[in-house]
Structure 1
Amino acid sequence: MRDLGAGFGYLMKGQRWVLRHGRWWGFGMLPALITLVLYAAALVGLVAWADDLVAWATPFADDWGSPWQGLLRGTVTVLLYVGGLFLAVVTFTAVTLLVGQPFYESLAEKVDDSEGGVGDVVELPLWRELLISARDSIRVLIWVALFGVALFFLGFIPVAGQTVVPALGFCVSGFFLTAELTAVALQRRGVELRERFRLQRGRMLLTLGFGVPLTLLFLVPLVAVFLMPGAVAGATLLSRDLLPAAGEAVPENGKPFIRADPA
């Protein structure tokens, strides 16, 4: 349980860090604001074109009578709205990190420096960092989708589907949200996604203590914009705990860490 509290503590420490360094907090909100505007425009467009999209997707119902045509297309419309909103929620962090990659990397570097620095940094061109970040984000989203499908069907189990499964859903979301946010600091150290997953699984309570509260907070509209800089700062502090000794990778059981190819 100590790790659970420590994970939440890193979340709070990250927010305090950016509040003490107001310039970083202000600039850190810009990528999130840009992403929010883009997503809002996309969701407005989805609402505006939803009827046409549903009619195009269900041409076989053109000759159906009332109320079956309305029921079918109404259901598909609701699913389209829910799917669009869900996609926006699960991709918001990844897109924000991509939009603000140079800034968030600088923020992570400042946080690391304030804690004693990093002994081994992998320097990559910006285009290479963006490519790795985009690739890893797609992999994370695939895992989220696979878990989402499994949890959807488990939700039909009586009692457990309405109690245990939603709790598991928040844990899954928290785990992968932490993976996205720690990517900024761990990518600087050359630690690849597979190894980041292994590190988090080894400190599951620490990971969930950070990621689950943040997931719940991100569900509140606009909160993600204000918390994103502190979330990156907190994830950087968390990364230092996952990789002790001033951020250096420490092999576990003699197994070396898998590092990104700097070429």
Structure 2
Amino acid sequence: MLDAVTAFSRGTRCVYQSGMRRYIFLPILVNLIVYVGMFSFVFNRFDGWLAHWMNMVPTWLDWLSWLIWPLFVISLLVVVFFTFTLVTSFIAAPFYGFLAAKVEVQVTGREPTDDRSLTKTAIDALGRELVKLAYILPRAAGLFVISWIPGVNLVAPLLWALFSAWVMAITYLDYPMDNNKVSFTDMRQRLSKRWWQSLSYGGLITLITWIPLANLFLIPGAVAGAVLMWDAHYRDACHDARNIKPL
């Protein structure tokens, strides 16, 4: 069976071969613009944010400054990571959907079942991203709150790791599924049934997105790898909506 690492490596080779490279230029450009803009924004305001955060700490907790500062930095990194991922996914969704369709034809010889026009597909892709945001943001907010509850926050890093993997699975495996008329609810059910494949691929992509600059050029490979995962694990996945509750 196809595993996450093999799917990603094959997908990356696929998008950088002759005839496919022209489909990844715009997604990479979008990622680069967002990356540079977000990095500049955070870099220019980091000191002010840190000073404001530390001023909010009560005087009697000054002795915990050594712990509060790293927690602030970690929290900021998590927020930046999710913001970067969500923003780039939203802006580049039409390009990623188009790339996924081209990869599917290239590697499987089958056309996606989607018969929408290119314009309709692009518009629908943005709507699909809004559905994803409506699903992801409340859960991310809940985890953020948990991260600051004494005692409970001890398991927060594990929960964030699992949630990040699940979000990445939803984000990337949805491109080929949307191209093949799989609804958002149906997509989550399929991912839940193949939970190991979903979390392993999502976890791998999470690690990749943390690699500075290199992630800009690896994300198209993640889209292509998702097509391979779709074809190997999810295309023919049977599910019973009565027995499988989507996450």
TM-score range (shorter-chain normalised) is: 0.7 to 0.9
Tell me whether 1:30 sits opposite 2:17 in the alignment: no
Deviation at 1:11, TM superposition (A): 1.2
Deviation at 1:85, TM superposition (A): 1.4
Deviation at 1:225, TM superposition (A): 1.0
| Between 207-216 and 43-52, the greater mean CA deviation after superposition | 43-52
Name the residue aligned to 1:143: 139
Deviation at 1:252, TM superposition (A): 3.1
Deviation at 1:32, TM superposition (A): 1.3
Tell me whether 1:109 sits opposite 2:95 in the alignment: no
C-alpha spacing 1:83/1:195, structure 2 compared with 1 (3 Å): same
**1:100 aligns to what SS in structure 2?**
helix
Q: Distance in 2 between matches of 1:104 and 1:28?
A: 7
1:137 and 1:180 in contact (8 A); partners too: no
Tell me whether 1:16 sits opposite 2:13 in the alignment: yes
- Within a 5 Å distance, the mapping from 1:98-137 to structure 2 comes to 98-114=90-106, 115-118=108-111, 120-121=113-114, 123=116, 124=120, 126-137=122-133
TM-score by length of 1: 0.73
1:197 corresponds, among 188, 191, 201, to 188
**1:234 aligns to what SS in structure 2?**
helix
Q: Distance in 2 between matches of 1:187 and 1:12?
A: 23
Deviation at 1:119, TM superposition (A): 5.0
What is the RMSD computed on CA atoms of the aligned residues?
3.3
Q: Distance in 1 between matches of 2:241 and 2:160?
A: 34
Name the residue aligned to 1:252: 239
Q: Distance in 1 between matches of 2:165 and 2:39?
A: 23
1:88 corresponds, among 80, 83, 101, to 80
1:18 and 1:230 in contact (8 A); partners too: yes
**2:16 aligns to what SS in structure 1?**
helix
1:231 corresponds, among 208, 216, 222, to 222
- CA shift digits 1:166-198 (9 cap, x unpaired): 566534322221111122222223323322221
5+ long unaligned stretches in structure 2: 243-247
1:11 and 1:231 in contact (8 A); partners too: yes
Q: Distance in 1 between matches of 2:53 and 2:200?
A: 41
Deviation at 1:23, TM superposition (A): 2.7
5+ long unaligned stretches in structure 1: 256-263
1:50 and 1:77 in contact (8 A); partners too: no
Q: Distance in 2 between matches of 1:28 and 1:170?
A: 26
Choose 1 or 2 for highest CA Rg. 1
Name the residue aligned to 1:258: none
Name the residue aligned to 2:52: 53
1:17 and 1:230 in contact (8 A); partners too: yes
C-alpha spacing 1:214/1:127, structure 2 compared with 1 (3 Å): closer
2:209 and 2:219 in contact (8 A); partners too: no
Q: Distance in 2 between matches of 1:16 and 1:119?
A: 21
Amino acid corresponding to residue 137 of structure 2 in structure 1: L
1:25 and 1:230 in contact (8 A); partners too: no
1:178 and 1:211 in contact (8 A); partners too: yes
| Between 92-101 and 169-178, the greater mean CA deviation after superposition | 169-178
| Between 177-186 and 113-122, the greater mean CA deviation after superposition | 113-122
Q: Distance in 1 between matches of 2:102 and 2:231?
A: 13
Amino acid corresponding to residue 193 of structure 2 in structure 1: G
Q: Distance in 2 between matches of 1:169 and 1:196?
A: 21
Q: Distance in 1 between matches of 2:183 and 2:38?
A: 28
Q: Distance in 1 between matches of 2:110 and 2:91?
A: 25
Give percent identity, aligned residues only: 21
C-alpha spacing 1:108/1:53, structure 2 compared with 1 (3 Å): same
C-alpha spacing 1:191/1:171, structure 2 compared with 1 (3 Å): same
Q: Distance in 2 between matches of 1:39 and 1:142?
A: 22
Amino acid corresponding to residue 195 of structure 2 in structure 1: M
TM-score by length of 2: 0.77
